Amino acid sequence: MVESSKMKCLGADCENDAGTLQCPTCLKVGLNDSYFCTQDCFKRNWNQHKTVHKIAQGKTQNGTLHNIIPPSPKVVSKCNEVARFYNPFPSYAFTGSVRPVYPLSPMRTVPKSIPHPDWSVTGIPKAERRLNRSKIDLLDAKGQEAMRKVCRLAREVLDIVAAELKPGITTDYLDEVCHNACVERKSYPSPLNYNHFPKSLCTSPNEVVCHGIPDQRILLDGDILNLDISLYHEGYHADLNETYYVGDRAKTDPDSVRVVETTRECLDMAIALVKPGTPIRDFGAVIEKHAKSRNCTVVATWGGHGINTEFHPPPWIPHYAKNKAVGVCKPGMTFTIEPILALGKSREVYWPDNWTNVTVDGKRTAQFEHTMLVTETGVEVLTARKENSPGGPIPMPATPNDTAKTNGATHA
Ligand SMILES: [Zn+2]
Ligand SMILES: [Zn+2]
């Protein structure tokens, strides 16, 4: 084994001793001695450093392929396992800095003993497409209990995945953690093969609005990342998501904190309205008002939804003001509220994978989601955070303006 503390940081003009941080891409391509002193140094040197990955994968900088797979199949070499990372859409005009990093890992499987929803084989949610969109289900005591159970499991899974978050890991790793945690709970991860979605989890960093596909991209200190988890257990679905700060750097970025914390508050404010008799169209007004007060915009394309034995039954729940959604909250209804706020324009465009949608101006977005039950007197948040859940609200970082104010400085 290599003793990391005796090595030097790989950073171009860095004199420091290496820390314990190893480049995860290097590890994947079989280079076991790429140590950096800090995450910052790693990030600073990334553009230069990443060329070694291409070389390790058999590509020189000018793109010439070398045959690094031994010609004889009898020779077993580590090179056979080398993954060739690439951007699948090299000519696409990306709006921000996030790029897809392929290949995707093979589709994960769920043991046959666990009940599967109808899309698991065909990719098509047939029953859901046949639903009468004007009829909102009310669950009896047994159905409500089943929803409590699957939502409790979904919260457990989200917390397990969120606990793994740190700079240097890939979103594909988070997908693996999510998938295994679902299977351990005898649950099918609802997104898997839903309209042919290839993964068990949606991971949406920075300018990705929602439905990002877990891939080989490495999370960076300073990223914000939404984890959207859905489970199917004993015939019922649960759905929740949260946006997290990756590393400590994002927590000091006023814009990132503004969009994340405002979105968190918008969801809480909408939930506070839920009780029998509240029109579903009312949620959007409070969400948009609060978003605007913080100079954020509401992404109108995506809405909350009913959830029960179906993944996305009626009602559809808009998050913007002056919407015309039909339906009134009644005891026994279960649905999600899941606002998405943006720092810039609320318009989005799709990557060519037809899932990942990003803001048209590349600015960041955040989303939060709960599944809830309307009770006789109010609401029960079935996916509520627990005392020890990772993440949670943080204060706005001090801005230079604040410092000036506390110092008694005046502005002309
Ligand atoms: Zn969700
Ligand atoms: Zn949802």
Better-scored residue on pLDDT, 213 or 398? 213
Of 20-34, 57-71, 165-179, 315-329, the range with the lowest mean pLDDT is 57-71
Same domain, 258 and 375: yes
Q: Are 310 and 230 in contact (CB under 8 A)?
A: no
Structural domain range at position 210: 126-398
pLDDT of residue 145: 98
233 Cα: distance to centroid of ligand 2 (angstroms)? 16
**Residues paired with residue 97 on neighbouring β-strands, in sequence order:** none
Q: Are 161 and 184 in contact (CB under 8 A)?
A: no
Task: Provide, rounded to the nearest whole percent, the portion of the chain with pLDDT above 90.
Answer: 75
Q: Are 369 and 241 in contact (CB under 8 A)?
A: yes
Same domain, 133 and 227: yes
Numbers of helices and strands, H then E, in the chain: 11, 17
Same domain, 392 and 287: yes
Same domain, 28 and 134: no
Which 8-state DSSP code applies to residue 239? E
Sequence ranges of the binding site for a protein: 211, 312
pLDDT tens string 110-126? 999 999 999 999 999 99
Vertex 295 angle, CA 290 and 299, to 5°: 75
Is residue 99 domain-resident? no
Same domain, 194 and 285: yes
Which 8-state DSSP code applies to residue 109? -
Of 16-20, 49-53, 226-230, 263-267, the range with the lowest mean pLDDT is 49-53
pLDDT of residue 73: 32
**Given pLDDT bands bounded at 50, 70 and 90, which one contains residue 44?**
confident
Cα of first residue to Cα of last residue in the chain, in angstroms, is 61
Q: Domain ends where: 11, 37, 56? A: 56
| Least distant ligand from the CA of 307 | 2
Q: What is the CA radius of gyration of the chain?
A: 23
Q: What is the number of domains present in the chain? A: 2
Q: What is the pTM of this model?
A: 0.79
Q: Is the pLDDT of residue 406 over 60?
A: no
Q: Is the pLDDT of residue 30 over 60?
A: no
Same domain, 49 and 131: no
Is residue 109 domain-resident? no
**Which tokens is 198 given?**
């290839």
**Which tokens is 374 given?**
């309307």
pLDDT of residue 401: 62
Q: Are 163 and 203 in contact (CB under 8 A)?
A: no
Which residue reads 């009896």 in tokens?
A: 140
Same domain, 36 and 134: no
**Which tokens is 121 given?**
């084989």
Which residue reads 């590509």 in tokens?
A: 59
Query: Which string of b and e fits 235-244 if b means at least 16 CB within 10 Å?
Result: ebbbbbbbbb
pLDDT tens string 191-202? 999 999 999 999
CATH number, domain with residue 133:
3.90.230.10
Sequence ranges of the binding site: 211, 228, 239, 305, 312, 338, 369
pLDDT of residue 384: 98
- Sheet of strand 357-359: strand arrangement: 208-210, 357-359, 348-350
pLDDT of residue 21: 80
Same domain, 324 and 195: yes
Better-scored residue on pLDDT, 8 or 278? 278
Q: Is the pLDDT of residue 345 over 90?
A: yes
Q: Are 396 and 254 in contact (CB under 8 A)?
A: yes
Sequence ranges of the binding site for Zn(2+): 228, 239, 305, 338, 369
| Least distant ligand from the CA of 302 | 2
pLDDT tens string 80-102? 345 579 999 999 999 999 999 99
**Given pLDDT bands bounded at 50, 70 and 90, which one contains residue 11?**
confident
φ and ψ at 45, to 5 degrees? -95, 5
335 Cα: distance to centroid of ligand 2 (angstroms)? 9
307 Cα: distance to centroid of ligand 2 (angstroms)? 8
| Least distant ligand from the CA of 304 | 2
**Given pLDDT bands bounded at 50, 70 and 90, which one contains residue 412?**
very low
pLDDT of residue 411: 44
**Given pLDDT bands bounded at 50, 70 and 90, which one contains residue 15?**
low
φ and ψ at 279, to 5 degrees? -65, 140
Is residue 66 domain-resident? no
Same domain, 138 and 34: no
Q: Are 260 and 403 in contact (CB under 8 A)?
A: no
Q: Please give the average per-residue pLDDT across 383-406, as a whole number.
A: 83
Task: Provide, rounded to the nearest whole percent, the portion of the chain with pLDDT above 70.
Answer: 84
Q: Is the pLDDT of residue 29 over 60?
A: yes
**Which tokens is 120 given?**
């698991």
Helix (H) or strand (E) holding 54, with range, is: helix 51-56
